[in-house]
Structure 1
Amino acid sequence: MPSKRKSTKARLIEAALDLFAERGVTETTTKAVAERANVNEVTLFRNFGNKYRLLLAVIEDSAVFAKLVHALVEKANSKETVAEFLQEYAKESLNTLEKAPDLVRSVVGEAGNYPVENRLALGKGFAEANKYVADCLAEAIAASGAESHFSAEQIVSLLNSFLFGYFTIKSTAEGYLLWDNDDEFIESLTALFLQGIIAAKEHPATTLKFEAIEDLPANLVRSLLLQAKKLGKQEYAIVYVLFGAGLTVEEIINLERSHSLVEPQQHLLQINDGAVRRVPLNHWIMGFRYGSPTANPLTRWLKNRKDERAALFINDSEQPLSELELRNIWQLVAADLLTPLGKVPTVEQARQTWCVEMLTKGIGLEDLSILSGMTIKQLRPYAQIAREKAAIEQATNLDRKPSI
């Protein structure tokens, strides 16, 4: 009897796997599965209860999914380096997904129709699989003498997200992928993880390379603000906010009028995008004053507005300014201007300049972290630049004094 029940379950799972792939989970009926397996529908209910529990059994027990994770990790563990582990795992994962693309698309695309219990069970299954892979990856990382600021489970979760995203786009869209084949994608993915997430202790150069910091000199900042003033009130206000509050492009385009908090002694900007915080808008920027809390380039722009739109900055159609439109404005402002390295200033350098100037004025890293939304670790390179500037200023002052 046990052998017969197992055989019946196996036939039902196999039939369900075929029908889920052919018709999708939602359109597949229990009656159709029972007929495909040559059993009556009551037998299906007795073995699985309902269609969604049958779906779980397909994922857990079918030839496609059974012991999948263990098999993937066993192959990956046979490799000698973390890079080879990642490449082998990625390769085998994509190969497995491609064995049943219709089923994968159906399971994911129709998941919103499943009962909560079923989705929780799926989530639990994914979490358990993720943990098993993470344990093996952690061993591989430790054996290779590497380290990471991310946990092994976070790394595997990121890796699986990249792999599944790539597979989904590849299997549903045409002409979009930037890689000619899977091998090129896997090579790029491995390089990303090794350079940005997992780094060898003995090779600091392989750690994540952050954007190079290059603050702008005072005369260039002055030129940028004057150039913006010539272009118009909104352009002037945007560049003023960039250098006066150190906001990112994303934060600026999400600002609304109500986020500009003007008081007699201070002008604050309420940031609700990303790190929620309030940031004071400086009126002294690199040695020059640009108005007061109640009268500055931003308040003048708002007073000049004739529309009733909520957005702080708008385009010609009175719609909120997009990131691309803001960057185009910056390009107009920065035209014909060069940094000391002979490059056109970037909009990101305004935030970098603000950070360095705030540190130069004496603000502590913890306080700047609160105002900027950046971590203290992210701010340490700025602190080094500020110290260098202070050292240069001190040396210059000493040079003015006659030696005894």
Structure 2
Amino acid sequence: MTSTRDRLIQSALELFTAQGVGNTTTRSIAERAEVNEVTLFRHFGNKHGLLLAVIEESSAFRHLGESLLNRASPTDNIGQALQAYTSECLAALERVPELVRSVVGEADRFPAENRRALGQGLTAANRYVAQYLAAAMDRGQLASSLPPEKLASLLNGMILGYAVIELTSEFHELWQDRADFLDAVVQLFLQGAVSPAGELVRSERHGSAPEVADLPANLVHEILQQAKKKGVQDFALAYVLFAAGLTPQELLKLERSHSIGDAHQHVLRVEARQVPVNQWVLGRRYGSYTANPLTRWLKSRKDGQAALFLNAEGQPLELPELQERWQTWTQGQVTPSGQPPQLEQARQTWCIDMLLRGISLENLSILTGLDLMQLQPYAQRAKERTAIAQATRLDQKASRLEIL
């Protein structure tokens, strides 16, 4: 049997949702719950106390954080879990649009103690998300310089901000649709505030430019050979990373139809631009434009999936799975700085190789989608490589002259 308290909360939710907080009286709530008004005051003090209980205890919001925490497991897909949680939160908020509008538009009418209580309610909602993220960090699935509580606040803040904008404004052009927002917020969260474990995420404080660290040729060819041993798709994945210079996110969005090749060139269509797939990778040729690791993978496909790369279940490959494959290919390998090779260093290596081959910064900007300012660290690294090579040649020349 439903308790009096629960009936009052449900009745308040229904009326707040239908007509807003300001237009709802305590008498109408009590009547809907089939109790007298004094009973409402005894349980909640006033309407704003009841509003707080609705937000904290209503079935429209309950269990969202708990459901996320319950997903925590060693095999959990972080991106899918966060996207499902975000989607569930938005669905809950969209079921009560007038309540959201009232909370936003009438907050200045709430007593100070109720505003504080609302804030405490939001803080409590963060705890489940923070616990989930902490568990993922403990398992080594996520790495971040921010504590789990801060990350949870960022995620929930973005979700609430989306709901407020969607439910209080029209005709904005901030995102295409809800799916577009969901994808963007999860990608930003995973690759901005949080990064897959082991991924190099460094920024120079001057202009927030990435620290560029390309990989030596012998290490790149060893990684490609290790990928080849794992199978035709792994070889194709590693090949595209080093031969086309895509980000992991761009690579994972590719579809089979995006690969376009003939005897004269092989390109990948990446959103609004095209990127060449090179035959040569750091001085070694990997087939031709029509016969290379990627085309061999495509010819071996017997499935009907549109995605270019697949996981073991035949579904589109996702970032954590790509990261795992990279770690398998690079196991036991170290860079000249003594660190394990990182996934994004494949793109950095390709960009610097293109510059050393003579491509202009303007053309590299067209191929990568990076602006000239973002490419400055790559240009500086290419200059360093050129200077070292020139100094080495001069030293070798002097050595030969001494012998003569």
Residue 330 of structure 2 corresponds to 334
- Residue by residue over 1:28-80, the C-alpha shift from the partner in whole angstroms, topping out at 9 and shown as x without a partner, is 68998357399xxxxxxxxxxxxxxxxxxxxxxxx99xxxxxxxxxxxxxxxx
Distance 2:148 2:231 in 1: 47
**RMSD, aligned α-carbons:** 4.8
Match of 1:262 in 2: 261
- The structure number with the bigger radius of gyration is 1
Aligned to 1:57: none
Confirm or deny: 8 A CA contact 2:134 2:148 kept in the other structure. no
Letter in 2 for 1:36: R
d(CA) in 1 for partners of 2:296, 2:149: 50
For residue 391 of structure 1, what is the amino acid of its counterpart?
A: A
1:250 aligns with 2:246: no
Greater RCO structure (CA 8 Å; 6+ sep): 2
Query: What's the counterpart of residue 351 of structure 1?
Result: 347
In the alignment of these two chains, the number of paired residues is: 280
| 1:382 aligned partner | 378
TM-score by length of 2: 0.56
The yes-or-no answer on 1:26 pairing with 2:22 is: no
C-alpha contact 2:267 2:275 (8 A) present in aligned 1:
yes
Change (3 A) 1:398 1:31: closer
Pairing 1:253-402 to 2, within 5 Å after superposition: 253-272=252-271, 276-401=272-397
- In structure 2, do the counterparts of structure 1 residues 277 and 23 end up closer, same or farther at CA, with 3 Å as the change threshold? same
Deviation at 1:242, TM superposition (A): 0.3
- Counterparts in 2 of 1:238 and 1:176: CA distance versus 1, 3 Å: closer
The answer to whether the Cα contact below 8 Å between 2:210 and 2:377 also exists between their aligned partners in 1 is no
Residue 290 to residue 205, structure 1, CA distance change in 2 (3 Å): closer
With the length of structure 1 as denominator, give the TM-score of the two structures.
0.56
Q: Is residue 170 of structure 1 aligned with residue 169 of structure 2?
A: no
Given that 1:19 and 1:28 are in contact with CA atoms closer than 8 Å, whether structure 2 keeps it comes out as no
Equivalence for 1:233: 232
Distance in 2 separating the partners of 1:337 and 1:209 = 28
How far residue 210 of structure 1 moved from its aligned partner, in angstroms, is 4.9
| Cα distance in 2 between the residues matched to 1:328 and 1:239 | 13
Gaps of 5+ in 1: 1-17, 39-62, 65-98, 130-162, 191-195, 197-203
1:31-180 matches, within 5 Å, as 33=24, 36=27, 100=52, 102=54, 109-110=92-93, 114=97, 167=123, 169-170=125-126, 175-176=131-132
Query: Residue 178 of structure 2 corresponds to which residue in structure 1?
Result: none
SS in 1 for 2:340: coil
Deviations 1:256-286 (A, max 9, x none): 11010112211010113xxx32100011111
Q: Is the 8 A contact 2:12 2:54 kept in 1?
A: yes
Give identity over the alignment, percent: 43
Letter in 1 for 2:16: V
Deviation per CA, 1:124-163: give whole Å up to 9, x if none.
x79xx9xxxxxxxxxxxxxxxxxxxxxxxxxxxxxxxxx9
Provide, for residues 209-254 of structure 1, a one-character-per-residue CA deviation record: whole Å limited to 9, x for no partner: 5543210011111111122222211111110000001111111122
How many angstroms apart in 2 are the aligned matches of 1:243 and 1:355? 9
Conserved in 2, the CA contact under 8 Å of 1:246 and 1:352? yes
| Gap change, CA 1:21 and 1:398, over 3 Å in 2 | farther
Distance 1:301 1:166, change over 3 A: farther
Change (3 A) 1:34 1:165: closer
